[in-house]
Chain A
Amino acid sequence: MSEASVRSDDPVNPTDNIDFTRAQVSPAFADLRKKHRSFVFPLAAAFLIWYLLYVVLAIYAPGFMATPVVGNVNIGIILGLLQFATTFAITGWYVAFANKTLDPRAAALRDEMESGVYAAERKG
């Protein structure tokens, strides 16, 4: 493949003869896109809200954050550590989802495209 250009109308591009518009409207792709979006969008919104909630609590409710829980460990420290815990948990959850749900569907579509299921009619 040519190194100089990213444009896919390169003569040597292996995806030249795929009809992406047909692939895009195929039920298999619609299913993959729906699975992907309905997982990542809500999760992204949730972690953003949870982070902002934490920041707003820290900024506007320092007294609440200072409430001791165990020894010198207060609610603020615990909520901060929970941000780490949820970040790790969301990472693990997404990876499990992607491995189980997204990867097999993406691979199946890729195989179909490579074997000419969505071949374009030769233009000119």
Chain B
Amino acid sequence: MYLADTSSVVLAAESTGETVGTPWINMTIFGAFVLVTMIVVLRASKNNKTAADYYAGGRSFSGTQNGLAIAGDYLSAASFLGIVGAIAVQGYDGFLYSIGFLVAWLVALLLVAEPLRNTGKFTMADVLSFRLRQRPVRIAACISTLAVTLFYLLAQMAGAGALVSLLMGISSKAGQSLVIIVVGVLMILYVLVGGMKGTTWVQIIKACLLIAGVAVMTVWILGLYGFNLSSLLGSAVESTGNSKILEPGLKYGASEITKIDFISLGLALVFGAAGLPHVLMRFYTVPTAKEARKSVVWAIVLIGLFYLFTLVLGYGAAALVGVEAIGNAPGGVNSAAPLLAFELGGSVLMGIIAAVAFATILAVVAGLAITASASFAHDIYTNVICKGKADPRKEIRVAKTTVVVIGLLAIAGGIGAQGQNVAFLVALAFAVAASANLPTIIYSLFWKGFKTRGAVWSMYGGMGISILLIIFSPVMSGSETSMIPGADFALFPLSNPGIISIPAAFLLGWLGSLGGQREDEIKQAEMEVRSLTGIGAEGAIDH
């Protein structure tokens, strides 16, 4: 659509098929990041003794450190490259999309973070099964945790392959597969060696680099326009020849279906962030609920600033790089941010931004891997198979084995998904988190009448409905951009299931709790008193 509008614009640079920037600079800076983080992870691993060390970093991080780590965990390469590109090409609709990712944090701040920290130890299931029957609830929560983290992980790994062609000049399939293997192996190493402490430090370092890099580019661009947002916007319109980039509608306004689809996506974003297991697990790394609150405050400030910066970067890329140059570059929309960095600061700045994008992938996948492994080892192995009586050292060994298995799965999946359109996986992860996890979290924290049957119905129902609707959506079949373009079994018109699956999961949780077995009222009293007062919550571990 935008191509038709801008076909008259003269290209500033012809970049078809060529790699901009210097691949060896990109690789050197990325190598330096890996080296520094490995040293930090090795140092952090010295005090890893107990399960609380391995899963929760000894609960010894400060709210500020954890806020940085949350930002590092949450701001994926898709947020950075994808949103800058979306704003550059689709204008306002990219900005509209980014806002949901920030506003969602208010759910975490107001309703989830502190009670979760007060009532759980390592995983989301700790909270959900606190006063309900352990076995069915833990199994459901673990399956949903694995589903969300694997969808997210696969999207990141496939994205890593695509990034290489853009940033390192590797376009062969074998070369990209090699990079996916390197990312997977590094992820396994970070988590095996460093546990949650190591993972947290990787995320903190990455968050500092990402936000600093984006801040420098933002000030640089604003400086070029005399710190006047209006003239930046004017220049973006002039360069693209399309005044529509300043108003909503370029992407989501195409038809009635795309409009409802965006509302559905917006709901999944707002309810999903506080249901992402890898985000929830971060709240256990601080000593108290007050520090958990402080973590969210820092996360909101950093994530908010980040998305404000991407607004400037996106319109800056439209103005300085141009929509056609972005569209013709090897990575398409995702190349907007690196091309903009090249435009501003040449090969060196582009190398830094490219390395930051890679560091972003590494930090996010490490967080996902430790979350999935903790959930399997702690929820399934210890609490379901061993009925809560497993040897903690054995549990950590199970967790470490799980990390290796997940890493290998992610590598295989990432290689297999090359060239596939897997961008929908992030939206699917948010939709499953919003439908399978958040309703049960909210009900079990705030509704006395909530029962095991309600939790199980809501979790499996929310998960099943989201996944089924995606399978029968245009994402899978029925259009040229589908995963299976040849077939057409797209019975559901929307690509985002949230608008159906989230209300359905809330409804199922309520319906399931109407009848069913009575729950332990003493445990309910204990959970409620603990969630608000913090009594009995585990503090930091001294070494």
User: In the assembled complex, which residues on chain A have CB atoms less than 8 Å from the CB atom of B523?
Assistant: 8
Interface majority SS (helix, strand, loop, mixed), chain A? helix
A4 lies within 8 A of B304 (CB)? no
Min CB gap B73→A, angstroms: 19
User: In the assembled complex, which residues on chain A have CB atoms less than 8 Å from the CB atom of B109?
Assistant: 90-91, 94
User: In the assembled complex, which residues on chain B have CB atoms less than 8 Å from the CB atom of A62?
Assistant: 247-249, 253
A16: nearest chain-B partner, CB-CB = B536
Q: Which of A29, A59, A98 lies in contact with B529, CB distance below 8 A?
A: A29
A77 lies within 8 A of B525 (CB)? no
How far apart are the CA atoms of A81 and B309 in the complex, in Å? Answer: 12
Instruction: Fill in one digit per residue for A1-36: 1 if any B CB lies within 8 Å of its CB, else 0.
Output: 111111110000111001011011000010011001
Q: Is B111 an interface residue (CB 8 A)?
A: yes
Residues of A52-70 at the interface with B, using a CB-CB cut-off of 8 Å, are 52, 54-56, 58-60, 62-63, 65-66, 70
B253 lies within 8 A of A55 (CB)? no
A113 lies within 8 A of B535 (CB)? yes
Instruction: Fill in one digit per residue for B103-139: 1 if any A CB lies within 8 Å of its CB, else 0.
Output: 1011101110010000011100010001000100000
B interface residues (Cβ-Cβ under 8 A, vs A): 50-52, 92, 95-96, 99-100, 102-103, 105-107, 109-111, 114, 120-122, 126, 130, 134, 228-231, 233-234, 237, 246-249, 252-253, 259, 262-263, 266, 270, 290, 293, 296-297, 300-301, 304, 307-308, 311, 382-383, 388-392, 395, 446, 521-523, 525-526, 528-530, 532-536, 538
B299: nearest chain-A partner, CB-CB = A91
Q: How many residues of A contact B (CB 8 A)?
A: 63
Q: Is A119 an interface residue (CB 8 A)?
A: no
Interface majority SS (helix, strand, loop, mixed), chain B? helix
How far apart are the CA atoms of A68 and B358 in the complex, in Å? Answer: 39
B99 lies within 8 A of A83 (CB)? yes
> Given A23-B525, A40-B111, is A32 in contact with B536 using a C-beta cutoff of 8 Å?
no
A20 lies within 8 A of B526 (CB)? yes
A84: nearest chain-B partner, CB-CB = B304
Q: Sorted from nearest, which 6 A-B pairs have the closest CB atoms?
A: A71-B230, A66-B247, A15-B536, A72-B233, A20-B526, A5-B388
B92 lies within 8 A of A94 (CB)? no
User: In the assembled complex, which residues on chain A have CB atoms less than 8 Å from the CB atom of B383?
Assistant: 5-6
How far apart are the CA atoms of A36 and B446 in the complex, in Å? Answer: 11
How far apart are the CA atoms of A51 and B121 in the complex, in Å? Answer: 32
How far apart are the CA atoms of A4 and B388 in the complex, in Å? Answer: 6
User: In the assembled complex, which residues on chain B have CB atoms less than 8 Å from the CB atom of A4?
Assistant: 51, 382, 388-392, 395
User: In the assembled complex, which residues on chain A have CB atoms less than 8 Å from the CB atom of B231?
Assistant: 71-72
How far apart are the CA atoms of A29 and B528 in the complex, in Å? Answer: 10
User: In the assembled complex, which residues on chain B have CB atoms less than 8 Å from the CB atom of A23?
Assistant: 525, 529
User: In the assembled complex, which residues on chain B have CB atoms less than 8 Å from the CB atom of A18?
Assistant: 535-536
B528: nearest chain-A partner, CB-CB = A24
Interface centre among A3, A21, A55, A90 (most CB of B within 10 A): A3
User: In the assembled complex, which residues on chain B have CB atoms less than 8 Å from the CB atom of A101?
Assistant: none
B529 lies within 8 A of A58 (CB)? no
Instruction: Fill in one digit per residue for A72-89: 1 if any B CB lies within 8 Å of its CB, else 0.
Output: 111011001101100110
B536 lies within 8 A of A7 (CB)? no
| Extra contacts besides A32-B532, A77-B229, A91-B297 (11): CB < 8 Å | A8-B523, A21-B521, A59-B252, A71-B230, A72-B233, A77-B92, A87-B106, A87-B300, A91-B109, A91-B301, A109-B533
Min CB gap A43→B, angstroms: 6
B125: nearest chain-A partner, CB-CB = A6
> Given A47-B103, A72-B246, is A21 in contact with B522 using a C-beta cutoff of 8 Å?
yes
How far apart are the CA atoms of A66 and B424 in the complex, in Å? Answer: 29
User: In the assembled complex, which residues on chain B have CB atoms less than 8 Å from the CB atom of A91?
Assistant: 106, 109, 296-297, 300-301
Q: Which of B92, B237, B296, B311 lies in contact with A58, CB distance below 8 A?
A: B92
21 A-B residue pairings within 8 Å (CB atoms):
A4-B388, A4-B395, A5-B388, A6-B122, A6-B130, A7-B134, A8-B523, A21-B522, A52-B266, A58-B96, A66-B247, A72-B246, A74-B247, A76-B247, A84-B102, A84-B308, A87-B106, A88-B304, A90-B106, A95-B297, A109-B535
